């Protein structure tokens, strides 16, 4: 059955039709917007909490959350209030002037992490670009390396700009965009020996490894958590060899793992880390954090027109304060455990289909067996017809990244939809 027939099946009840506008003309969209996405044939127009509604009034339980972005779900009263007040007051001014909201947000991040300095931008890729530039300048000015190399992991994801697709250790994102950026080298994730070998092999003439950039948990690459032992050893290796440890926390930062930052799950502190997706709950923002010692940027070295404007910073500050006030990290831990327990129960019922359930807090993956035809996209389509939005993390991994305010009942509803979809697809 095609996705079109699945989502248009009249036997699927449209639970709420209030506020629904006319059916959306997908062809109209496709003739004017670049084809950079494979899109599902639904158009979302309204949301509340963990639920969204399409233009035909059909309700979906949203376990995608804009891909790990809508931290507080949709239309959260605190976020609505903040952005409404802020846009009336002042929404954008240049970084040529002091922006109090930016200062407050930086302070909040510093108070809730190992960071000592913050730079604001607008997206994950841009935050990682900032980290790459900072590491290179640090290498030139402090480490006196003429040709600094940044080591990244295979199956990683760091963004879509030229430097960040180069940092991304997946050829599918790099194909057709040559020449790529020089100065990157890839190693397998969670493999200490490979990093040690790379550091030794790349130490040649005026070339040296200046930084290692990794995700604390690989999101896009299949929801693969970093291993404690690996990261602790890696921290030591970086210290012993004057190498900066950069963590890309764009997907896992800001509470997603049940702790504010992904590295807290690994018992280490990075020298530089980045955040974006969930930081302002869906208002575009990016941030690059570092320790004082590696902040070598001077006025004019790096900039962003929109970065750190009052609107985005006020939103992010509200997300942070709401996480604290409503004790949401505890919900992330409890709902995460509930979700993994339910998915594991499904996995033990279908051992011929599912190979593993893994994750931290509310970023979880369910991996399908590699020797079967069924893909994560097949299940995503099947659950969508049951009113659940999920997103793959590669061809064999289903990713579960609901808003952090998700309820126990909503987790149950989601796992029941997954189980019934798998039952149907395998019958």
Ligand X SMILES: *Cc1c(COP(=O)(O)O)cnc(C)c1O
Tell me which of 157, 231, 273, 297 is the catalytic residue. Answer: 157
Give the helix/strand (H/E) hosting 391: strand 391-392
Selected from 102, 152, 190, 251, the binder of ligand X by CB under 6 A is 251
What DSSP string runs through 211-242? EEEEESEESTTT-EEPPHHHHHHHHHHHHHTT
Selected from 54, 220, 378, 410, the binder of ligand X by CB under 6 A is 220
Q: Is 248 a catalytic residue?
A: yes
Nearer to ligand X, 49 or 219 (CB): 219
Q: Is 54 a catalytic residue?
A: no
Residue 159 interacting with ligand X (CB under 6 A): yes
Residue 158 interacting with ligand X (CB under 6 A): yes
Q: Which positions from 174 through 193 interact with ligand X, judged by CB under 6 A?
A: none
CB of 306 to ligand X, least distance (A): 13
Nearer to ligand X, 123 or 166 (CB): 123
CB of 156 to ligand X, least distance (A): 8
Nearer to ligand X, 74 or 277 (CB): 277
Residue 129 interacting with ligand X (CB under 6 A): no
CB of 164 to ligand X, least distance (A): 7
CB of 336 to ligand X, least distance (A): 18
Residue 123 interacting with ligand X (CB under 6 A): yes
**Only segment of 43-51, 213-221, 230-238, 334-342 that touches ligand X (CB under 6 A):** 213-221
Pattern of binders to ligand X over 273-312, x per CB under 6 A? Answer: ---xx-----------------------------------
Q: Is 297 a catalytic residue?
A: no
Nearer to ligand X, 250 or 332 (CB): 250
How many chain residues bind ligand X (CB under 6 A)? 15
Residue 226 interacting with ligand X (CB under 6 A): no
Selected from 109, 250, 316, 366, the binder of ligand X by CB under 6 A is 250
Peptide bond into 331 cis (omega under 30): no
Tell me which of 248, 259, 306, 378 is the catalytic residue. Answer: 248
Residue 359 interacting with ligand X (CB under 6 A): no
What DSSP string runs through 277-345? TTTTBTB--EEEEE-GGG----TTSS--SSTT-HHHHHHHHHHHHHHHHTTHHHHHHHHHHHHHHHHHH
Residue 215 interacting with ligand X (CB under 6 A): yes
Tell me which of 63, 119, 259, 277 is the catalytic residue. Answer: 277
Phi and psi for 368 in degrees, rounded to 5? -90, 155
Nearer to ligand X, 42 or 247 (CB): 247
Nearer to ligand X, 215 or 410 (CB): 215
CB of 417 to ligand X, least distance (A): 25
CB of 6 to ligand X, least distance (A): 27
**Residue 252: helix, strand or coil by DSSP?**
coil
Residue 248 interacting with ligand X (CB under 6 A): yes
Active site residues: 157, 248, 277
Which residues contribute to the site for ligand X (CB under 6 A)? 123-125, 128, 157-159, 215, 219-220, 248, 250-251, 276-277
């Amino acid at each position: 059955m095609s996705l079109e027939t699945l989502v248009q099946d009249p036997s699927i009840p449209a639970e709420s039709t209030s506020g629904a506008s006319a059916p959306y003309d997908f062809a109209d969209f496709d003739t004017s917007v670049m084809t950079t996405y494979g899109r599902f044939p639904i158009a979302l127009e309204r949301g509340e909490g963990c639920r969204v509604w399409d233009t035909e009034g059909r309700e979906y339980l949203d376990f995608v959350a804009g891909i790990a972005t809508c931290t507080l779900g949709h239309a959260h009263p605190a976020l609505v209030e903040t952005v409404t007040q802020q846009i009336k007051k002042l929404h954008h001014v240049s970084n040529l002037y002091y922006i109090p909201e930016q200062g407050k947000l930086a302070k909040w991040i510093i108070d809730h992490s190992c960071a000592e300095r913050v730079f604001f931008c607008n997206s994950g890729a841009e935050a990682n670009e900032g980290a790459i530039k900072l590491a290179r300048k640090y290498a030139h000015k402090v480490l006196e390396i003429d040709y600094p190399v940044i080591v990244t992991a295979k199956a990683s994801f760091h963004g879509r700009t030229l430097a960040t697709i180069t940092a991304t250790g997946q050829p599918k994102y790099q194909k057709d965009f040559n020449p790529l950026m020089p100065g990157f080298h890839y190693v397998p994730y969670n493999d200490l020996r490979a990093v040690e070998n790379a550091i030794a092999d790349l130490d040649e003439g005026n070339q040296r490894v200046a930084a290692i950039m990794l995700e604390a948990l690989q999101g896009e690459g299949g929801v693969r958590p970093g291993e404690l032992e690996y990261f602790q050893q890696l921290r030591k290796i970086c210290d012993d060899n004057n190498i900066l440890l950069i963590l890309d926390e764009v997907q896992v930062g800001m509470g997603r793992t049940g702790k504010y930052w992904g590295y807290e799950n690994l018992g280490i502190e990075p020298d530089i880390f980045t955040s974006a997706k969930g930081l302002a709950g869906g208002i575009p923002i990016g941030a690059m954090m570092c320790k004082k010692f590696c902040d070598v940027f001077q006025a004019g070295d790096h900039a962003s027109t929109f970065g750190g404007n009052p609107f985005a910073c006020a939103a992010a500050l509200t997300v942070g304060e709401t996480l604290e006030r409503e004790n949401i990290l505890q919900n992330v831990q409890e709902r995460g455990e509930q979700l993994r327990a339910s998915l594991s129960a499904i996995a033990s019922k279908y051992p011929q289909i599912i190979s593993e359930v893994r994750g931290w807090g509310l970023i979880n993956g369910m991996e399908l067996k590699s020797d079967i035809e069924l893909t994560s996209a097949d299940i995503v389509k099947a659950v969508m017809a049951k009113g659940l939005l999920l997103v793959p993390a590669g061809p064999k991994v289903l990713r579960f990244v609901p808003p952090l305010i998700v309820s126990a009942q909503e987790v149950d509803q989601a796992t029941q939809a997954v189980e019934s979809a798998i039952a149907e697809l395998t019958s």
